[in-house]
C-alpha cells in the first residue's frame, strides 16, 4: 500500500450494502444469536469463561446476559459503531457482540434468531442513514476520524516487538525492534505499493514463535536429562485420566463436536462475510479493507491468529463454548478468496477442522508452556499498541475537526473517563470521545460559538 493510500482522508465511508450483502449480514446475525442462545459459542472472550456455569445450570440466563452486556457494551458503542462509521466497513464488535447479548437474553430458542436478524437489519438499514446524516453536519467528525488510520496501521506493526520484550527481555526486544524498523524502511523504499508493516510483522511474529519453541525444547531436553539422571529414563509423560480438568476438557470437546454441522454453517457464513469485503476483523484491518488492500488485511489478521489460538482453544475446552469467529482464520482466508462459493466451502472446512482438532490443540499447548505464554504476551502487546494508536489517532481527529478546542474536548472526555474508573473501556473511550466531541462542536456551531476548522 503506497504512502498516499495511508493518508487519513482516503477512501469512501459509504455504508450502503448490496442486497446479497444485506441478506448475508441479517442471516449471519440470526445464526450467531441462535448459537449464542444454545451456549455453543460467543464472540466476547471475557464472557466465555462464564458460560460453563450457565451450561451446567449454576447461573441464570438473566445473570449471564448481564455479564455479557457489561463486558460488551463499551466495545459496541465506543469502538464498533465509531469504527464502522469512520471506515465504512463492518467489524465484529458491531456485528457479533450484540448477538452474543441477544442470544443469551432470549428466553426461547425460536426467538433468538429473530432478535439476531432484527439487529442485522438495524446494521444494514440504520448505519448508512446515520453515516449520511453525520457527513452533512457542519463539523464532519466521521471524516476527521479517518485520521486514525495512519497511527493504527503503523503502531500496530510493533506488537511483536512488545511481546518479545515482555517475554524474553530487552536485548531480544531491541534486536526485534531494529529488524522491524529496517524492514519497514526497506519495504517503503523498495515496494512502495505494499503495506510497509506487513513484512515487519511477519518477521516479528516468527521471531517470537522461534524464541518460544526454542525455550520449550531446551526445557524438555533438561527435564529428560533429569529423569535419566534419576533413573527414570524410560518414564514417559502420560496424561492423568483422573485429572478433573482432563475430564472437563474431553466433555467440552465432545459437546462441541456433536454440533459440528452448525459450526460448519457458522464458519461458512463468517468466511462469506469476509469475502464480500464489507467486513474487517480488527481495527487496522478495517482501514485496510476500506482502502482496498485485501492482501494487507489478510496478513494483519493472520498474524493476530497466533495471539488468540491458545486463548480460544483453552477457554472453549474449559467452558464448552467456542468462539463465534473460531480461531479467526476464516477472516484472512475470506479476504483473499475470489468468489462467495469458495468462501462458503472453505469457511465450513476450516471450522470443521478447528472444532475437530480442539482436544489435540489443548494437548499440544499443554506441552508448550512458553508458546502459551507467547500468546498472552501477543494479546497484551496488541492491546497496548492499539490503545496508544487509537488515542493518538483520536487526538489527530479532534485537531482536524476542532483544532485546540477539539483536542481539549476529546482529550478532556478521555481523561474524565480515566478519572472516574473507566466507565467506557480504555480502547473504546477515545473514539467515543471523538463522536461526543463532534456532536458538542456542532452544537457550539449552531449557537454561533465555534467556527469549524477548514476542511474539518
Domain that holds residue 333: 3-7+15-159+253-446
Does a structural domain hold residue 166? Answer: no
Does a structural domain hold residue 59? Answer: yes
- In whole angstroms, what is the distance from residue 121 CA to residue 108 CA? 20
- In whole angstroms, what is the distance from residue 82 CA to residue 74 CA? 11
Does a structural domain hold residue 181? Answer: no
Does a structural domain hold residue 68? Answer: yes
Based on C-alpha coordinates, what's the Rg of the chain? 23
Would you list the DSSP string of 237-267? ----TT-HHHHHHHHHHHHHHHTHHHHHHHH
Does a structural domain hold residue 452? Answer: no
Give me the residues of the chain with pLDDT under 50, please.
1-11, 234, 240-243, 456
Does a structural domain hold residue 199? Answer: no
Residue 64 makes CB contacts below 8 A (sequence gap 6+) with 47, 50, 51, 53, 54, 104
Q: What is the pLDDT of residue 294?
A: 94
What are 260's three cell numbers? 459440528
Q: What is the pLDDT of residue 169?
A: 94
Q: What is the pLDDT of residue 10?
A: 41
- In whole angstroms, what is the distance from residue 124 CA to residue 390 CA? 26
Q: What is the pLDDT of residue 5?
A: 39
Determine the 3-state secondary structure of 90 from DSSP.
strand
Angle formed by the axes of helices 149-156 and 283-290, to 10°? 120
- The kind and range of the H/E element at 323 are strand 322-323
For residue 36, give the nearest of 59, 68, 66, 4 by alpha carbon: 68
- In whole angstroms, what is the distance from residue 261 CA to residue 306 CA? 26
The DSSP symbol for 338 reads S
Surface-to-core class of residue 380, CB atoms within 10 Å of its CB (0-12 exposed, 13-18 middle, 19+ buried):
middle
Q: 242-260: per-residue pLDDT in tens?
A: 445 555 578 888 899 999 9
Q: 329-386: per-residue pLDDT in tens?
A: 999 999 999 999 999 999 999 999 999 999 888 888 878 888 888 888 988 899 999 9
Does a structural domain hold residue 211? Answer: no
- What total of structural domains would you count in the chain? 1
Does a structural domain hold residue 194? Answer: no
Amino acid at each position: 500500500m503506497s504512502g498516499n493510500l495511508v493518508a487519513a482522508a482516503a477512501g469512501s465511508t459509504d455504508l450502503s450494502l448490496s442486497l446479497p450483502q444485506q441478506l448475508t449480514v441479517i442471516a449471519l446475525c440470526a445464526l450467531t444469536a441462535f448459537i449464542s442462545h444454545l451456549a455453543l459459542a460467543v464472540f466476547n472472550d471475557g464472557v466465555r469463561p462464564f458460560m460453563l456455569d450457565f451450561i451446567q445450570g449454576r447461573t441464570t440466563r438473566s445473570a449471564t446476559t448481564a455479564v455479557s452486556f457489561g463486558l460488551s457494551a463499551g466495545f459496541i458503542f465506543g469502538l464498533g459503531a465509531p469504527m464502522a462509521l469512520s471506515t465504512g466497513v463492518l467489524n465484529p464488535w458491531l456485528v457479533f457482540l450484540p448477538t452474543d447479548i441477544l442470544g443469551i437474553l432470549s428466553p426461547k430458542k425460536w426467538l433468538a434468531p429473530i432478535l439476531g436478524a432484527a439487529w442485522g437489519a438495524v446494521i444494514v438499514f440504520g448505519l448508512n442513514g446515520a453515516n449520511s446524516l453525520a457527513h452533512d453536519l457542519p463539523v464532519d467528525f466521521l471524516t476527521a476520524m479517518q485520521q486514525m488510520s495512519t497511527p493504527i496501521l503503523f503502531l500496530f506493526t510493533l506488537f511483536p516487538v512488545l511481546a518479545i520484550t515482555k517475554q524474553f527481555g530487552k536485548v531480544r526486544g531491541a534486536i526485534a525492534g531494529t529488524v522491524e524498523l529496517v524492514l519497514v524502511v526497506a519495504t517503503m523504499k523498495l515496494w512502495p505499493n505494499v503495506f510497509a508493516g506487513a513484512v515487519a510483522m511477519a518477521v516479528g511474529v516468527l521471531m517470537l514463535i522461534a524464541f518460544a519453541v526454542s525455550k520449550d525444547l531446551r526445557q524438555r531436553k533438561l527435564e529428560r536429562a533429569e529423569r535419566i539422571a534419576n533413573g527414570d529414563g524410560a518414564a514417559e509423560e502420560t496424561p492423568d485420566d483422573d485429572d478433573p480438568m482432563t475430564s472437563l476438557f474431553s466433555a467440552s470437546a465432545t459437546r462441541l463436536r456433536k454440533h459440528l454441522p452448525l459450526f460448519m454453517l457458522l464458519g461458512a457464513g463468517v468466511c462469506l462475510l469476509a469475502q464480500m469485503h464489507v467486513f474487517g476483523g480488527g481495527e487496522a484491518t478495517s482501514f485496510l479493507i476500506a482502502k482496498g488492500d485485501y492482501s494487507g488485511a489478510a496478513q494483519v489478521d493472520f498474524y493476530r491468529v497466533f495471539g488468540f489460538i491458545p486463548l480460544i482453544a483453552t477457554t472453549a475446552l474449559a467452558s464448552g463454548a467456542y468462539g463465534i469467529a473460531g480461531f479467526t482464520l476464516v477472516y484472512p482466508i475470506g479476504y483473499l478468496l475470489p468468489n462467495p462459493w469458495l468462501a462458503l466451502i472453505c469457511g465450513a472446512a476450516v471450522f470443521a477442522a478447528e472444532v475437530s482438532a480442539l482436544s489435540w490443540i489443548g494437548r499440544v499447548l499443554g506441552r508448550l508452556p512458553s508458546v502459551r505464554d507467547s500468546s498472552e504476551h501477543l494479546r497484551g502487546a496488541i492491546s497496548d499498541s492499539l490503545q496508544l494508536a487509537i488515542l493518538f489517532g483520536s487526538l489527530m481527529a479532534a485537531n482536524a475537526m476542532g483544532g485546540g478546542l477539539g483536542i481539549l474536548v476529546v482529550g478532556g472526555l478521555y481523561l474524565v473517563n480515566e478519572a472516574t474508573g473507566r466507565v467506557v473501556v480504555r480502547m473504546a473511550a477515545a473514539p467515543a470521545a471523538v463522536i461526543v466531541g463532534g456532536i458538542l462542536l456542532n452544537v457550539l456551531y449552531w449557537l454561533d460559538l465555534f467556527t469549524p476548522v477548514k476542511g474539518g
